[in-house]
């Protein structure tokens, strides 16, 4: 099944850590899948949604290895990316997320 078929009709998509890493780092096995998603975001067909938690997770490896340019690539995409809604997580959102998760 092609990713374009899977996301057809989707207007918002939460961008978790792994797909962002695969895209930014051009992962040999997963880049093409993530490219289709980010192309949709670039074209305004999708609104990407992500958070400070995802940003933090994406930055660990580049910071650990001193790869400042790579860290900036993640920041540019996640925080400043066009058609990406960067959600700041505060105490109330953290509590609500825990309450929702506790019911699953």
Which tens digit of pLDDT belongs to each residue from 64-87? Answer: 999 999 999 999 999 999 999 999
Tell me the pLDDT of the chain averaged across its residues.
91
Token look-up 């953290």 returns: 94
pLDDT of 1 above 70? no
The structure's pTM equals 0.83
CB 24 within 8 A of CB 74: yes
CB 59 within 8 A of CB 76: no
CA distance 66 to 57: 15
| Predicted pLDDT of residue 89 | 87
- Strand 47-51 and strand 84-87: pairing? parallel
Give the helix/strand (H/E) hosting 98: helix 91-102
């Amino acid at each position: 099944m092609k990713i374009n078929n899977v996301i057809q009709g989707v207007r918002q998509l939460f961008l978790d850590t792994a797909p962002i890493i695969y895209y930014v780092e051009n992962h040999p096995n997963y880049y093409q899948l993530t490219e289709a998603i980010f192309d949709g975001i670039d074209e305004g067909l999708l609104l990407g949604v992500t958070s400070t938690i995802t940003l933090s997770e994406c930055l660990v490896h580049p910071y650990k290895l001193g790869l400042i340019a790579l860290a900036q690539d993640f920041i540019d995409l996640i925080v400043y990316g066009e058609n990406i809604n960067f959600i700041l997580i505060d105490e109330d959102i953290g509590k609500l997320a825990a309450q929702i998760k506790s019911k699953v």
